[in-house]
Structure 1
Amino acid sequence: MGLIIYIIGIIATVYAIMDVFKKNISTACKLGVTIILLLTSWIGLLFYLFYGKDHIEEWCKS
């Protein structure tokens, strides 16, 4: 069961990182958000998917 949750977490994180790199923001901000997503695991991922996804472009104006 734990392995399935781990694999789902990896897939969701890769999806979020791909979504970040599609945004029209600076490269430095993309790398920063990617590092934060990788370091914060599920909490950062859930925050990004439910809130940050829609607001990241205004936070990281390029």
Structure 2
Amino acid sequence: MHYYPTCTVKLIEGTVDQSERSSLSDEQMAEGYVLICVAYPKADCVLETHKEEELFG
């Protein structure tokens, strides 16, 4: 599994297309994590940045 810690955010509001989700598990995606380097916004979004440590420890 490949991780992209520098582009990891948490989606607070809005929707994104993560069909190229790369390395996020279904569980991580269900928790709201998004890789903004491969996701496309489908609407206006609110994101929390600097989530790398929280997700990848």
| TM-score (structure 2 length as normaliser) | 0.29
Higher relative contact order (CA 8 A, sep 6+): 2
> Could you say which structure has the larger radius of gyration?
1
TM, length-normalised to structure 1 = 0.28
Larger proportion of strand = 2
